[in-house]
Amino acid sequence: MINRKEEPAIKDAVDFNLQLKPYTYFQLDNGVPVYTIDAGAQDVVMVELVFFAGNWYEDKNIVAATTNYLLKNGTTKKNAFAINEHFEFYGAYLNRNCYNETATISLHALSKHLPELLPVVTELLTDATLPEDELAIYKQNQKQRLEVNLKKGEFVANRLIDEYLYGYDHPYGKYTLTGDYDALQREDLEKFYKQYYSEGKCLLFVAGKLPSDIQEQLNKSFGHLALNKADIPQITHLRQPAVQKKYEVINDANGVQGAIRIARPFPNRHHPDFTKVQVLNNIFGGFFGSRLMSNIREEKGYTYGIYSYLQNHVESSAWMVSTEAGRDVSRATIEEVYKEMEILRKELVDDEEMHLVKNYMMGSILGDLDGPFQVISRWKNYVLNNLTEEYFYNSINTIRAITAEEIRDLANKYLVADEFYELVVV
């Protein structure tokens, strides 16, 4: 029996023996790969279909995102209302999202209701009509939303910094203009839907308390579809970063706040420095106890929050510092960011701070492994980035073993002010 009068021993997260639960793999009759995690106490399940149907593959701007959105808005048998009613009747949630390389359809439901729900998901993949009236409503709503968002400095800053880093014609740097919605035609969506959904490349990620016949259910619903017959189109997009490095954009002449973005190009997850730089990033600005937060929020009071992070793109990445500060202190904020870079280049991080950041990172990984949905999400990230289980354990070993000297060397290699693009939108 636990003696509750004695204080329990405190164990550092860095000493935890973290294990990544392996997935079960099989293929449907048509070759669609399925990755499953059978775990959890509740009778709930998530089925996520991942298609290589992001904006990387579109010929016209926003065709990928619009097609993905309208998947749920009508088939020859059901209109948008009937589709939503069906999933709500069973207490399920069906969502779809479009990213740069991929697009997803995600179903969250009670395990026992899969036989009634999966056939409707199949219907969306084979019989979506992408109705003209729903497209018109979507265009109108999106143009109104865009008009509102363009008045926000942080929205404009997020668009422009990506353009500077990658070039407007690159999928990572492209953004939407009002005219793009006017140029959208239903025929564009139908072509994209057929090539990248009905006959596209698909992967399934399934997690939760799975029914014993999950393979049979998935095969019945999706195993006969015309998926994965063709290879993913090999499309290359050249990165064309801006020549100029410093920008100030007046979005609101009367604005009192500046949206600040400071960013530099960075390799993807396959680069040997990637995990090590994640440790450096957390020291620099990756969590609430970081140096940027301590200096610029706590000491200077210039902002409510400031963070740095590595973008999670497949082909290439970027190292970004993001914050909003008072217009009158925007320049001072930027100078303090560069000062923190310089300190990391010159001085060794002390043992206490190294220990704090390592514990934070290990604790975050532990939290990301809490439940089957989180585990399958990590596996999905690895699969889509062509990484293996070895990456997980190598990352943990890197976090544990990295030294203050290595951190300083990485700072001298990457935290170089001249390599960063700088943007203030007021």
pLDDT at 59 over 90: yes
**241 confidence band (pLDDT: 50, 70, 90):** very high
Output the six-digit token pair for 73.
């808005």
Enumerate residues 6+ apart whose C-beta is below 8 A from 229. 30, 199
pLDDT of residue 82: 97
pLDDT at 2 over 90: no
Separation of alpha carbons 300 and 325, rounded Å: 11
Quick one: residue 113, left, alpha or beta (phi over 0 = left, psi -120 to 50 = alpha)? Answer: alpha
Sign of CA dihedral 170, 175, 180, 185: positive
pLDDT at 191 over 90: yes
> What number of other Cβ atoms are within 10 A of residue 348's Cβ?
13
Separation of alpha carbons 25 and 206, rounded Å: 10
pLDDT of residue 366: 93
**323 confidence band (pLDDT: 50, 70, 90):** very high
Rounded mean pLDDT, 128-157: 97
pLDDT at 299 over 90: yes
Separation of alpha carbons 252 and 131, rounded Å: 38
The domains of the chain, with CATH numbers, are 24-222 (3.30.830.10), 246-425 (3.30.830.10)
Separation of alpha carbons 399 and 276, rounded Å: 7
pLDDT of residue 177: 96
Secondary structure (3-state) at 233: coil
pLDDT of residue 312: 87
pLDDT at 3 over 80: yes
CA-wise closest residue to 272 among 406, 101, 418: 406
pLDDT digits (tens, 9 = 90+) for 7-31: 877 778 888 889 999 999 999 999 9
Half-sphere exposure of 193 (CA within 13 A, CB side): 22
pLDDT at 1 over 90: no
pLDDT at 330 over 90: yes
Contact between 141 and 108 under an 8 Å Cβ cutoff? The reply is no
Q: What average pLDDT does the chain have?
A: 96
pLDDT at 207 over 80: yes
